Every structure is written in C-alpha cells, then in structure tokens.
Amino acid sequence: MNTDGMRVLSKPRTQFLLLVLIVLALLWLGTLFHFNDQPWIAFFRGIPFPISATLFVLSYVGVTFFIWFAKDLLKVIGAVVFGPYWSTLFIWLAELMNALVFFHMSRRLGRAFIEEKFKIRKDHVEKAEKGGGVWHIFVLRTVPLVPYRILDLAYGLTSVPFRRYVIVSAVAMPIRIFWLQFIAAGIGSAIFDQTQIMAYFAKHLLVLRLSFLYLVLSIAAAFFLNKKLK
C-alpha cells in the first residue's frame, strides 16, 4: 500500500468509519444464514468429549464473530450436548475471547476518533473511568437485555483499562450464562417455541419465580446505575 493510503487509514475518522462498516457487515451477514441445530448436536455428540469441548469453544468464537445471531443457537446446542454446567464454562471462555477481540478492535479503530470528535480532556477521561468502575461493569454484564457485543464495543471506545473490564466481566458473566444455560438445557431445541417455553415454566414454577426475580433485580440495578451516572 502506498504512503497516501497508509496516511488515510491512519486518520481517526477513517478508522472509526472502518469500525462502523465492520459492525454493519457482521450484522448483515447474520441475516443471510439459517442454522439447523440437529446436525451440530449430532456432530458434537459423535466425537470424544475433550475434542468436542475444544471445537465447541472455537466454533462459538469463530462463528459468532461473523454471525452474531448464531450465538443463541450455539448456546442451546451447548446446553443440549454438554448440559448446563459444562456449557456455562465453555461459553464463559468463548465470551472472554470475544471480549478480547471486540474490545481491542473498538479501541484500535474508534478510540482516537472519539477523543478527537468530542475533544476529550483529562477530566472527561477521569469521569469515564469512574463510570466504568467495577460495580458498573458488573451490573451491565449481568443484565440479560444488554448484549455482550455492545458492551465490548462500547467499553473499547472508553478509557476503561481492558484488564479491569475483562476481570470484572469474567466474574460477572457466569451468573447470566448459567441462568440461560440451565433453562436451555431443560427445554432443549424447543426453546425457540414460545409454547414450549410457557409449558416448561408451568412445570417448573420455582425456576419461573427465580428467573423473574433475577430479571427484576438486574433491571432495577441497571436503572439505579443509570440514575447515579446522570
């Protein structure tokens, strides 16, 4: 690549535009693919556990990088094949790898533009770091309605240190992941059928009550956090 091309790519505005295009392209790719979970389940069940576990983690990282919406299907596949406990561990590892990739991609391509565009000063950086404290990251990582990808990309644009972000994320994620994997393991592939979900909760009222409590507490914590940051 010539010098002019390198100079253009080094500009914060160009890098940020590249980040936006990558995100839009990945979202678009997700609309083109439709997966059938049964071949995946048969494949992972047909090979030894250590190999299937490794391939599942790698598949989760690789496939969900390009096709974001595939993560829901892979979570169900993991729950059916490995059960709620092992699948929680594998998805936890995969999500940490994804956090590494998306956080640094966002920081590398978007951070300089944000600093330039909004003329960020030292006091702004200090305020951002305060808003990216341990408690704040922990709460947002446990709220089921907040996608992990959005958090990874958003925190990459801030001044929050990656080490803090990934350590708090590692501690917070098992709560949310296990809750989803436990339900997915109980319902199985039928989890995308609303009727089957209702039938499952009708038979497992304790799970329903605990799920409702978890949702209420996590949303309330996020609401309180939003009020505190204003």
How confident is the model at residue 68, as a pLDDT? Answer: 66
How confident is the model at residue 82, as a pLDDT? Answer: 96
Q: Which residue has the tokens 């949303």?
A: 219
Summarised one tens digit per residue, pLDDT across range 26-69 is 666 656 566 677 888 999 999 999 999 999 999 899 887 777 67
Contact call for residues 158 and 132 (beta carbons, < 8 A): yes
Alpha helices for the chain (secondary structure H): 3-9, 12-30, 37-45, 49-66, 70-117, 122-131, 134-142, 148-156, 162-187, 194-203, 205-229
Cα separation, 226 vs 230, in Å, equals 7
Two tokens, residue 178: 């296990």
Low-confidence stretches of the chain (pLDDT < 50) are 1-2, 4-9, 118, 120-126, 128
Closest CA to 128 of 163, 159, 155: 159
How confident is the model at residue 146, as a pLDDT? Answer: 83
Cα separation, 193 vs 215, in Å, equals 20
Two tokens, residue 58: 């790698």
What residue segments make up the domains of the chain, in order of their start?
3-229
